[in-house]
Amino acid sequence: MTIPLVKNKQFVYEILGVRKAEKECRYFIGNPQLVGAYSNLYMHDNSEIERNCFILAKDKIEIGVNTTLAYGATVLTGADPNGPKNRLSDLYPPLKAPVIIGNDCWIGANAIILPGVTIGDCCVVAAGSVVTKNVPSGVLVAGNPAVIKKHLNI
């Protein structure tokens, strides 16, 4: 479901089920397309999901303190090649796995984060990258598949 873009609509998302990770917690959610349960989405303080993101919330998703998902980024927590009738389903049974993104991260526009990935603190995911594996803290990853391009001096 896509919520129309209105200002200060945190309360709308909380009615839908989005969780505040801290008691005193302000966050921003643009107008993502979200499939699954809003209650799987844990927003930490000052985190944001910018406009036109796609969020597959079949399992837990955490967006860390001060972390931003830039425009059009995708977070996937599930995979299923169209149920048991599909011949690939023996090879690729339905999967659900959380995505955890740490604090102070910058997930670039149109990046894709695959199910089960954990991203550490202070990471940059370059625009358009596809993150297939866990990312340690303090690095910039880029490309498809995303690889470490540099260690950030912070």
Closest separation in Å from C-beta 66 to ligand COA = 13
Q: Which residues bind ligand COA (CB under 6 A)?
A: 70-71, 108-109, 124, 126-129, 140, 142-143, 149-150
Query: Could you give the 3-state DSSP secondary structure of residue 134?
Result: coil
Distance CA 101, CA 121 (A): 8
Query: What's the rounded Cα separation, in Å, for the pair 101 and 133?
Result: 12
> From CA 16, how far away is CA 38, in angstroms rounded?
6
Which residue's CB is nearer to ligand COA, number 77 or number 129? 129
Q: Taking the complex as a whole, how short is the minimal distance between the CB of residue 54 and ligand COA, in angstroms?
A: 15
Q: How far is the CB of 35 from ligand COA (least distance, A)?
A: 23
> Nearer Cβ to ligand COA, position 59 or 139?
139
CB crowding 108-137: b at 16 or more within 10 Å, else e: bebbbbbbbbbbbbbbbbbbbbbbbeebeb
In the complex, what is the shortest distance from the CB of residue 109 to ligand COA, in angstroms, rounded to a whole number?
A: 3
With respect to ligand COA, which residue has the nearer C-beta, 66 or 89? 66
- Shorter beta-carbon distance to ligand COA: residue 89 or 110: 110
